[in-house]
Amino acid sequence: MSEVPALALSVALVILTAAYARRLGIGKEISISGARALVQVLILASVILLLFDLPLYWSFLVLLVMAVVAGHTSYSRSGKLERTLPVAIVSIAIASLILLIPFFLLGVFPFEARYLVPTGSILIGNAMNVSSLSIDRYRGEIRNRRAEIEAYLALGAPPELAVADSLKQGLLSGLIPSIDNMKNLGLVWIPGVMTGMLLSGANPLDAASIQIAIFTAILASNLIASTLLLHFSTDSFFTKAAQLREDLD
Amino acid sequence: MSPLHLELRNVSKSILRKVNNSRVTTQVLSGLELEVQGGELITVMGPSGSGKSTLLRLINRLSEPDSGIITLNGKNTRDYDPLELRRKIGMVFQVPIVFRGSVRDNIALGMKLWGSYIDIEALARDTGIPEALLDADALPLSVGEKQRVCIARALANQPEVLLLDEPTSSLDAVTAEKVEGLLLGMRRERNLTVLWVTHDREQAKRIGGRKFMLRDGRLEEVHV
């Protein structure tokens, strides 16, 4: 029974960090974030516990809720462009689902809530981070390249061609952290899944195999989610008459 | 082919401007009227901020007027496919912007978009771009060379109307004179309909054609 000391350690660390961070003016923010994280994770643990005894579609429902929250976060990063909310939710959900399926089809994990929810949430969470980074950069690139984009449009080029370079930059900047993480996998840090498996007594080779499968799935789902989001949100930056919207600045 | 006819009737437009970090709506065009016949050269003068660039942007629908109607050959520009309209109405901007790739790639863009054939070498020659430069990277070119590429790129679309938004004002005096001469020569050779915006009264005199002053959001014909 290690949960009581673990939770006590977490509470103590949040209090100590917040106390120190008061000098930097972010003590309150750390206290609130720490308290939220603790409560949210405990609620999540209770939900997963409940899911063990419920039919599997409940697990998918929980993952869908996660995808909606993740999509909303990325949508906020887009400057709340119209039509981007459903695009963000669907992009993250589809990308995560596509990469989740092989884990269960190939028998890497048994098709149970215990495996489905954590693996799905890892993919959704990472897809959200990368989608948010990508759409934020994409929007910034479009704003900064207004003159270039309008020079394309003035020649009769379609918006997709006019923003092609901005889209590429958006995708790249979103994916660079994932690529760097993959480069340093095992060198600078032992990632979460492997750490968890090792702590619970798994064979290091098993832990490493699962970890690399999860890591490559994360990268692939990140790429799919951010590509879908940027591609299908392009129309939101333009009017129906293919004019770059004036209210982006 | 019926002769070209471009008309702006009672056109008004407000734009958002940033003043001291807040956005202010300014009415730049107000009940503007203009009629242009095929092959005409129209010179529009006016001080900075008077709405000259806005006027050109409305004609090829980079922006939408708040009210009023713009027609090309009797048809409301709103009823054209905007991409097709912009091919018919080319535009050269004050600050030349070339795209990633070679000079040839830049000029050939219209060909790729519309599947038409253009003799790129001949067009480069006509616009004063040396043949040796055609396969060079376009981004490091000088401002004057870039503006020539932009002119060639716009002409490669074979537009019916060419909008020139102070095309020489970002160039040094010598280059500006050459580009001005080039544009006037091209207009004569191709019988192009041209709307040329300039803040320079002396340039307006040299350009010729019908001259207008943009004042209080309207065009007044002037004789300078």
pLDDT confidence bin for A82, thresholds 50/70/90:
confident
Of the pLDDT bands very low, low, confident and very high (cuts 50, 70, 90), residue B117 is: confident
Q: Are A156 and B150 within 8 A, CB to CB?
A: no
Buried b or exposed e, range A78-105, using 16+ CB within 10 angstroms: bbebeebbebbbbbbbbbbbebbeebee
Q: What is the pLDDT of residue B2?
A: 56
Instruction: Please state whether A79 falls in left (phi above 0), alpha (psi between -120 and 50) or beta.
Output: left
Mean predicted lDDT score pLDDT of chain A: 91
Q: Three-state SS for B7?
A: strand
Within 10 angstroms of residue B87's Cβ, the number of other Cβ atoms is 23
- Indicate if the pLDDT at residue A239 is higher than 60: yes
Residue B56's Cα: distance from chain center in Å?
A: 7
Q: Which residues of B touch A165 (CB under 8 A)?
A: 100
Shortest Cα distance, chain B CAs vs residue A153, angstroms = 7
Task: Residue B140: count other Cβ atoms within 10 Å of its Cβ.
Answer: 9
List pLDDT tens digits, range B11-45: 999 998 877 778 888 899 999 999 999 999 999 99
Burial class (CB in 10 A: 0-12, 13-18, 19+), A35: middle
Task: Give the residue from chain B lying closest to A152, CA to CA.
Answer: B99
* Residue of A155, A161, A169, A243 to mutate when probing chain B, most B C-beta within 10 A: A155
Nearest to B62 among A148, A153, A161 (CB): A153
State whether A155 and B153 contact (CB < 8 Å): yes
Identify the helix (H) or strand (E) that includes residue B45.
strand B41-45
The structure tokens listed for A234 are 């392009």
Neighbours of A44 (CB within 10 A): 15
Classify residue B223 as exposed, middle or buried by CB count within 10 Å of its CB (0-12, 13-18, 19+). Answer: exposed
In whole angstroms, give the CA distance from residue A39 to residue B133.
65
Distance from CA of A249 to the nearest CA of B (A): 10
The burial of B68, by beta-carbon neighbours within 10 Å (0-12 exposed, 13-18 middle, 19 or more buried), is given as: middle
DSSP SS3 for B86: helix
Beta-carbon contacts below 8 Å between A and B? 63
For the domain with range B37-65+79-222, which CATH number is right: 3.40.630.30, 3.30.1360.120, 3.40.50.300, 3.30.110.40? 3.40.50.300
Residue A221, number of CB atoms within 10 A of its CB:
25
pLDDT-derived band of residue A192, with 50, 70 and 90 as boundaries? confident
pLDDT of residue A2: 72
Question: Domain residue spans in chain B?
Answer: 37-65+79-222
The nearest CA of chain B is from the CA of A239 a distance in Å of 10
Question: Going by DSSP bridges, is the β-strand pair B67-72/B75-76 parallel, antiparallel, or unpaired?
Answer: antiparallel
Q: What pLDDT, on a 0 to 100 scale, did the predictor assign at position A191?
A: 83
pLDDT value at residue A47: 85
Of A148, A153, A243, the CB nearest to B64: A243
Asked if B111 has any chain A CB less than 8 Å from its own CB, the reply is no
Domain residue ranges in chain A: 1-51, 56-248
Query: Per-residue pLDDT for B68 more than 70?
Result: yes
What's the pLDDT at B78?
Answer: 96
Mind telling me how many Å the CA of B223 is from chain A's nearest CA? 31
CA A58 to chain B, closest CA, distance in angstroms equals 48
Cβ-contact A134, A239 below 8 angstroms: no
For residue B158, the chain A residues in CB contact (below 8 A) are none
Query: Residues 58 to 87 of B: which have CB under 8 A from any A CB?
Result: 60-64, 78, 82-87
Per-residue pLDDT tens over the stretch B119-145 = 999 999 889 899 999 999 999 999 999
Which residue from A minimizes the CA distance to B93? A151
pLDDT confidence band for A31 (50 / 70 / 90): confident
pLDDT, tens digit (0-9, with 9 covering 90-100), for B150-169: 999 999 999 999 999 999 98
Residues sharing a CB contact under 8 Å with residue B110, sequence separation 6 or more, in sequence order: A155, A156, B87, B116, B118, B153, B156, B157, B158
pLDDT at A1: 57
Q: How confident is the model at residue A111 (pLDDT cuts 50, 70, 90)?
A: very high
| Residue B24 sits at the chain A interface (C-beta within 8 Å) | no
pLDDT given for residue A149 in this prediction:
97
Task: Report the percentage of chain A scoring pLDDT > 90.
Answer: 59
Q: What is the ipTM of this complex?
A: 0.93
What integer pLDDT is reported at residue A241 of this predicted model? 95
Least Cα distance to B162 among B25, B78, B23, B38 occurs for B38
pLDDT, tens digit (0-9, with 9 covering 90-100), for B90-113: 999 999 999 999 999 999 998 888
- The C-alpha atoms of residue A218 and residue B140 are separated, in whole angstroms, by 39
DSSP per-residue letters across chain A = --HHHHHHHHHHHHHHHHHHHGGGT-HHHHHHHHHHHHHHHHHHHHHHHHHTTS-THHHHHHHHHHHHHHHHHHHHHTTS-TTHHHHHHHHHHHHHHHHHHHHHHTTSS-SSHHHHHHHHHHHHHHHHHHHHHHHHHHHHHHHHTHHHHHHHHHTT--HHHHTHHHHHHHHHHHHHHHHHHHHTBTTTB--HHHHHHHHTT--HHHHHHHHHHHHHHHHHHHHHHHHHHHHHHGGGGB-TTS-B-GGG-
- What pLDDT, in 10s, does the model give residues B166-201? 999 888 888 888 889 989 988 888 889 999 999 989
Largest CA distance in chain A: 69
A140/B39 Cα distance (integer angstroms):
41
What percent of chain A has a predicted confidence (pLDDT) above 70? 99
More confident residue, B146 or A34: B146
Rounded to the nearest integer, the mean pLDDT of chain B is 92
Kindly report, residue by residue over A119-175, the tens digit of the pLDDT: 999 999 999 999 999 999 999 999 999 999 999 999 999 999 999 999 999 999 999
